[in-house]
Amino acid sequence: MKKVSLLLCAFAMLITLAGCKDAKANISDGKTKLVTINKTSISKNDLYGVLKSNSSSAVLNLIQKQLYELEKIEITDAMKKEAQKNIDEIKKSYKSDKEFKEALQNAGMKDENDYLNKIAYPAQQRAELIKKYAKDNKNKVFEKYHPVKASVIKCDKKDNADQALKALNEKQNIDEVSKRFGKKDEVSNGKEQIVFANSGISQVVYDKISQTSKAGLVNEVIADEATSSYYVIYIHSVDPNSYSNEAIDAISNGAYDITNDMLKFYADKYKLEIYDIDAYNQLKASNPDLIK
């Protein structure tokens, strides 16, 4: 059961029809419109077989499918390759192919191809649409997330942080300084990266970075009392236009709230309208920004 949950959680944010294979409904008014987007209607027949209680997820899934078509986000060979790579990684957590297939079936999938078509490929399309949204709205996105190119060293003792700061003032190599004085950390490891709001870095560190207007060494140790950690920061550039593609990629892949911004943008662009009161109420509860 734990591994089935893992399989589901891996793509839980994709808003798919997974898990609804046994739902049935008698729809007498199947041609009644639930949603219109860019003059394309989604009817109750489109939702046949989907549980009423899950209609918000189902409608969102269909809305996103329409958006992929409208924005010409096609499934490419590169997407298929990446999707297969992801599913191969998931397979490694299972003892055998049989166990993996059983997990797929328990998650509402017929087989691996069903999983790819319903979940993995749409995930790639969704990621591509987010990136397109970020590129087309670059100034707005940069204003919200304030991406900065920086290196951050995390230390578990202030003395180590002081020594790291001293070494960087002496123009020593930042990678070597991080190895000598830094604490092993996936994010704050001295590597050059794009740091932005909601990127997972310590909030006090991001606050300091966002308040710094020029490149260079931040000549003080930043203490995070909540985690008893100490940070040394080197800012490589504060102009996101000079590393635009890197910033867009980082934000598209790492900002947890950019999906909602993207959906709202395209809902407004294509004049999303909700006619069914149940679908309206559930969408309003789960995705209030989509509903005006």
**pLDDT score of 285:** 77
Q: Report how far residue 291's alpha carbon sits from residue 284's, in angstroms, rounded to the nearest whole number.
A: 6
Residue range 116-151, pLDDT digits in tens: 998 899 999 999 999 999 999 999 999 999 999 999
**pLDDT score of 18:** 31
Whole-Å CA distances, 259 to 117, 128, 223, 252: 21, 11, 32, 9
Work out the angle between the directed axes of helices 77-91 and 97-106 (0-180°, nearest 10).
Answer: 110
Mean pLDDT of 195-215: 91
Residue 187 pLDDT > 90, yes or no?
no
Q: Which residues contact 20 (CB under 8 A, 6 or more apart)?
A: 49, 50, 51, 54, 58, 108
Residue range 85-127, pLDDT digits in tens: 999 998 898 999 999 999 998 888 899 999 999 889 999 999 9
**pLDDT score of 36:** 65
For the CA atoms of 272, 274, 251, 196, what is the dihedral angle to 10 degrees?
A: 110
Residue range 46-61, pLDDT digits in tens: 444 443 444 456 677 7
Domains (range + CATH), the chain: 2-136+257-290 (1.10.4030), 145-242 (3.10.50.40)
Strands 229-237 and 148-155: antiparallel
**Residues of the chain above pLDDT 70, percent:** 78
Mean pLDDT (the chain, rounded): 82
Residue 16 pLDDT > 50, yes or no?
no
**pLDDT score of 149:** 96
